[in-house]
């Protein structure tokens, strides 16, 4: 019995020690140069949380807020799931609207959207001054300038738009766009202007066919007819 107590005590001590020496960074900017999962705490008053930092591509220091690599994770989720985040940081995930608000309200960020189609072509588009407002404003999107990239702009049209999910439609028009497009997004009016729109949280279509625009696509990089097999949304502190 005494031996068992000693083992339990050692385990508790070891766990406490590991927690005590956990390294926390302000952002991906000061995290190690290797891509991976790190603890960050942008504000002293907020508890630290885990993020995936892309440190080896596009000059590094990117904090990944959305990642899609296969069909194993459903992105047609409720408002609360998009608010708090879901998925695995090692594969498919949405970091969470509330975290995005907390991050972008305290510091200035750029956004980069990276995508790959089924022909293995990779493209990207970079935006300046990316921010998400708070929940009282339905996590509305703010961004500017899309002059850098190879994909073409299919996001600026959503500047100022509110976020929508199938159980909370905030988009323009009469349609429930999150339900029609099979994923939460800043949907604008989903029945207009396809070429300048996108649907990064839509259905991951293994058949590579977009029947009604509900798949995962980027208007200026193939549009609804050429679905994407990989997407990443990443933010980086402005220099």
Q: Is 208 left (phi over 0), alpha (psi -120 to 50) or beta?
A: left
Backbone angles phi, psi at 4, to 5 degrees: -65, -40
Q: Which domains, and CATH codes, for the chain?
A: 23-237 (3.90.215.10)
pLDDT value at position 11? 40
pLDDT value of position 99: 96
Residue-level pLDDT at 19: 46
| pLDDT for position 34 | 97
At residue 12, the pLDDT reads: 39
Position 22 scores a pLDDT of 80
51 touches 41 (CB < 8 A): no
Q: What is the Cα–Cα distance from 182 to 179, expressed in whole angstroms?
A: 5
**Nearest-angstrom CA–CA distance, 97 and 99:** 5
Backbone angles phi, psi at 86, to 5 degrees: -160, 165
- Given a cut of 50, the residues of the chain with pLDDT beneath it are 1-20
Rounded Cα gap, residues 129 and 95, in angstroms: 19
């Amino acid at each position: 019995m005494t031996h068992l107590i000693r083992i339990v005590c050692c385990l508790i001590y070891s766990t406490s020690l590991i927690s005590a020496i956990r390294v926390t960074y302000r952002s991906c900017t000061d995290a190690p140069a290797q891509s991976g999962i790190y603890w960050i705490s942008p504000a002293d008053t907020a508890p630290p949380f885990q993020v995936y930092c892309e440190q080896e591509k596009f000059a590094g220091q990117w904090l990944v807020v959305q990642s899609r690599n296969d069909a194993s994770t459903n992105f047609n989720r409720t408002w609360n799931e998009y608010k708090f985040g879901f998925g695995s940081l090692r594969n498919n995930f949405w970091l969470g609207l509330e975290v995005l608000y907390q991050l972008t309200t305290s510091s200035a960020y750029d956004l980069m959207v990276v995508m790959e189609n089924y022909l293995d072509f990779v493209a990207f588009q970079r935006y300046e001054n990316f921010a998400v407002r708070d929940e009282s404003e339905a996590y509305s999107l703010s961004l500017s300038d899309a002059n850098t990239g190879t994909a073409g702009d299919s996001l600026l049209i959503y500047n100022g738009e509110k976020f929508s999910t199938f159980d909370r439609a905030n988009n323009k028009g009469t349609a429930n766009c999150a339900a029609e497009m099979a994923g939460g997004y800043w949907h604008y009016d989903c029945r207009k202007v396809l070429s300048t729109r996108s649907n990064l949280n839509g259905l991951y279509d293994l058949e590579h066919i977009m029947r009604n625009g509900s798949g995962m696509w980027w208007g200026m990089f193939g549009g609804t007819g050429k679905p994407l097999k990989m997407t990443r949304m990443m933010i980086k502190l402005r220099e």
